[in-house]
Structures are given as C-alpha cells and as structure tokens.
Amino acid sequence: MAASGWITVVRRRLRPRAAAAVAPASPDDPAATTTGPRPASAPGGKIHELRAGGGLRATAGHLAARARPHRVFLLLLAVGAALRAVAMLGYRPALWFPDSYTYVVTAMRPRPDLVRPAGYSMFLRLLEPFHGFMVVTAVQHLIGLAVGVLLYVTVLRAGGPRWAAALATVPALLDAYQIQLEHLLVSDSLFALLVLGGVVAASRPPTWRSACAAGLLLAAATLTRTAGLPLIGLVTCWLLARAWTSRRGARRRPVVLAGLALVVALVPVGAYAGWFAATYHRFGIVGSNGVFLYSRTMAFADCAVMRPPADLAVLCDPTPPARRPPSQEYIWSATSPVVALPGITFTESTDRLAGRFASLAIRSQPFDYAASVLGEVARTFVWGRPVYPDREIYGYYQFPAESPPPPGRYPATVGAEFAARYERGPIGTRLVEPFAGVMRAYQDVARLPGTVLLLVMLAPPVVVAVRRRRGGRTGTAWTLPWLGSLALLAIPAATAQFDYRYVLPAVPLACLAAALVARGGEPRRGRPAGSANFE
C-alpha cells in the first residue's frame, strides 16, 4: 500500500479519539462523575466554562420568566421592603406605646398579665437573646411583608386574577400607618398575621392538617390579643356550615374536622387559662373583661334608667353621657368611679362588680348600647383621620418629629427598667434624618382612607347579589375572610372602644374577601392540581 493510503487509514482511526478528547463530557456520562472536573488548562476546559456560564444564564432566564407574570406584585413587595428599611434607619431602635412596657415586663418576668395575654410577650422573649429592639422591629416588618405574600399567594391559589391579588396587597405593603404600627412595640402586627393564617387555613379544603393549622394559629392569635377568641367560634361555625352543605353521606368527615379544629384551639387556650388560675386563683386568660365592658357602657349608661342596687350605684357617673370623656378614661383615669374603689382596678371583686354594672346597663338600655357600638364602628369609615380618643394616644400612631420623652407613669417606668435590661442599653428612640423626615412625609399622603375600606367591605356582598340576580354562579370563598374582618371591627367597639390600631388587622381580611369575589364562581383554568378551591 502506498504511503498516502497508510496515512489515510491512520487519520480515520484517530479522528473519533481526538473528537472525544475535545468534546465536553456529557452530564449523563458515568465517567464524568468519576474522573472529576477537568482543569481549565486541559483541552476543552474553556468550552466547559462556557457551558457552565450558559447554564447560569439559562437558570437566570428561567427565573426571570417565572417572575415576569408577577412583576407588579414583586414591585409592590420591593417598594414595601424599601419603605420599611427607611423606617428602621430613621427611628432607631423602635417606637414605644404605653402597652409596650407591660409586654416587656411579662417577657422578662414570665407570668400572666391581668389586662393582656402573654402571647406577644413570649414573642419578645424568643428574640431576647439578640438583646436589641431593632431586631424585634425588623421581624415585625418581615411579618408585614409576609402578610402581603400570604394574601397574594392565597388569591392565586384560589383561582383569582393576578391584578386582584396584587391590588389586595397594597394596603398591607404600602399603608404608612401599617408600617408605623409594625415599628411600634405592640402586638397588632403579629396578631394580624396569625389571624390571616388561621382564616386561610380554615378556608382550604378540609383535611386534618388544615384543621389543626387553623386551630393552632387562632389559639396563638387569642393568646396574643383576646379579640381572637370569638374567631375560634366563627371558624368552627364555618366548618360546620360547610359540613351542612356537603352531601348527606359525606357530612361526617367535615363535622369531625370542625371538632378537631375546636379542640386544637382550645387546648392551648385552656392551658394558658390554667396558668392564669394558678397565678390569680380565678379562671380566664385576662382579669379585666368586666372593667373594659364597664368603660364601654359608660358612654350611655344612665343610672336613672338602670336603677342599680346600692353596691352597683357607687359606679354611677352623674355627668350626662353627652359630656363624658372617651370610654378608656373610665379604666385609667384617677377620677373614674371604678378606679376610685379600694385596691387595684383589676382585682377579682372589682372586675366582677364592674361586669355586673355593665350587664345591667346593657339589659336596661339595649338600644342605647347598640347605637353606641354602631357609632364606634362608624368611626372606622370616615374619610379623614380625626383625633380620637385623645391627642396623646393619637400621637402614638404618627412617626414623631422629635424623640419621645421617657415614660412618666409608674407602671411604665418599671417597664422601662426591664426594657433597658432587655436591650442592655438605653431604649430611647433616636431620630436619624433624612430617613425620619421621609417617613413623616410619606405618612402624610399614603394611607387607606376609612371610606375606601368601607367600599372594600361592601364589594363582596354587592357583587354576589348582582351576580345572583343575573343568574350567575357565585362562590363562597370570600365569606369567612369577610366575616372575620367584620368581627375584628365590631369586637373592640362592643367591648372597649374604637382605636385606629384595632382597624389595621382587619384590613388584610377585607382585602382578601374582595379579591376572592373577583374570581367569579368558577376556579381559573389551569390551576395546579391540589390547590385550594375554597368551596
């Protein structure tokens, strides 16, 4: 064979080996997992790096494609996070409310409090190893963002449109008063997330997991604020109603799950009540229900109409109801008849006496009581934000223009000492410009007016009524969140008085109800299998 022929044969035999040496290893090639990565200097190393870079770009492109449909919500979430960062930079480490000091005392010296359950104090206790109230406010701001995320995901999983899901998150993410409330050392932000989570869990298709989650979350909400206790009954009734509307042969399981949710909720609440009884020798989760209800009835109570017995007559106020101060003054003011009684205000005997007076007032003047409650609820829906109940309390809900002074009342001064131990340093609020000024300016323009909240509350029943009149199908997904928001607005007005910070935990539920009614009667096509149908 000629020399040229031998050369041709050799080239043909060597060509596949050379190609294999240059070609990068396939991810499915077993040899690729045993020989290890090829050094960059080896033949094909540059090609391997290029393929790796291409993989990162492909992953980034995939994530961008997944996020693109949610770009409006992601923008709202980013703006909300930025505003909260500005608040943390402007007001360090936190803003204080009169209740804050009591919460800190209970956190540092765990025992049930007579006025407030200890759930929020235990939250503070969990964060105590960090020795910084700035950590507390950071977590509370994350809670505020989590409320927005939970709203958005819940609406989408229920088949709602993205525009409605994003719109429902706007008050939770961007309302300046919501951000300011998260910066206050009070229980309302934590309470709002727990209530929202419990309602969402109860709205999911009934399983033992969803029933247990709803019960535990609402129990935690109750031990954070007593306004959560009626919601346990509301959710139980909702689950039983769903059982009633089920097919006759399929009712047993929903009834069992409703009982499971109730038991899971009442076990921790009952355990806390046992702790309270061991401490104060009376059963309950607080020891002030009678005094607070007494203060509520003093807005209308007329002893000439009530004709109380002698032991209750000491709690009468001769001042005409129209000239009396806001209800809360009958709890804390030294001139209040109940405060003037011997001993502390929240002794068992005083609380029972005040409760009896309140019960008599409601039975004697039921229409006056109803009108007073409706009047307090109506304060929620005014367009402006008038000063109420007084200038001092109203001022706590504003980003201040100067550092607040230290507390002056005795219980708060004791709490301030415990707070300094918690912080391991001074606890005064330090203002840092221009960040503080940015938040003050933002609070002047960015809030949810009460009248808009009223429209949000009216939207679900009105839309459902219109659809039914036209013969269209309507779902029931909106019902439980709507009832929950209504309860959160009515409970304080019926048992204490209206307060601006009591409104904010009800807003996410109202927005959720309005967003869920936007989806119509049928789930959106293409919803992932197993997602919640809320029916």
Residue ending a domain, choose from 265, 282, 299: 282
Does the residue 527 lie in any domain? no
52-77 residue pLDDT tens: 566 787 787 778 888 888 999 999 99
Residue 383, pLDDT above cutoff 70: yes
In a domain, 104, yes or no: yes
Between 424 and 12, residue with greater pLDDT = 424
Axis-axis angle for helices 252-280, 229-245 (nearest 10): 170
Statement to judge: residues 212 and 112 lie in one domain: no
Report whether 439 contacts 91 (CB < 8 A). yes
What's the maximum distance between 2 C-alpha atoms anywhere in the chain? 133
Are 147 and 106 found together in one domain? Answer: yes
Neighbours of 9 (CB within 10 A): 10
Q: Mean pLDDT over all residues of the chain?
A: 87
Please determine, for residue 307, whether its predicted confidence score (pLDDT) is greater than 70. yes
Where does 83-178 show beta strands of DSSP type E?
91-92
Instruction: Read off the pLDDT of each residue in 441-465 and give the average, rounded to a whole number.
Output: 95
Pair 164, 244 in one domain: no
**Domain shared by 420 and 356, yes or no:** no
- In 347-446, beta strands by DSSP E: 430-431
Question: Is residue 28 one of the residues assigned to a domain?
Answer: no
Is pLDDT at 44 greater than 80 in this prediction? no
Q: Which of 220-229, 244-253, 278-287, 373-382 has the lowest mean pLDDT?
A: 244-253
Percent of the chain scored above 90 by pLDDT?
72
Whether the predicted pLDDT of 250 surpasses 70: no
Q: Which domain holds residue 127?
A: 66-185+400-446
Q: Is there a single domain that holds both residue 198 and residue 259?
A: yes
pLDDT (average), residues 216-229: 97
361 with 322, same domain? Answer: yes
pLDDT higher than 60, residue 13:
no
Task: Say if 422 falls within a structural domain.
Answer: yes
Instruction: Over range 228-238, report the average pLDDT.
Output: 95
For the chain, the domain total comes to 3
Contact indicator for 236, 200 with CB cutoff of 8 Å: no
Q: Which residues contact 447 (CB under 8 A, 6 or more apart)?
A: 175, 176, 177, 385
User: 503 lies in a domain?
Assistant: no
> Are 349 and 412 part of one and the same domain?
no
Of the residues 267, 282, 297, the one at which a domain ends: 282
166 has a pLDDT exceeding 50 = yes
Is position 478 within any domain?
A: no
Q: Are residues 113 and 167 in the same domain?
A: yes
Which residue, of 325, 350, 380, is where some domain finishes? 380
- Given a cut of 60, is residue 130 above it in pLDDT? yes
pLDDT tens string 197-206: 999 999 988 8
Residue 459, pLDDT > 80, answer yes
pLDDT at 364 over 50: yes
Percent of the chain with pLDDT over 70: 85
Does 197 share its domain with 158?
no
User: Do 172 and 200 sit in the same domain of this protein?
Assistant: no
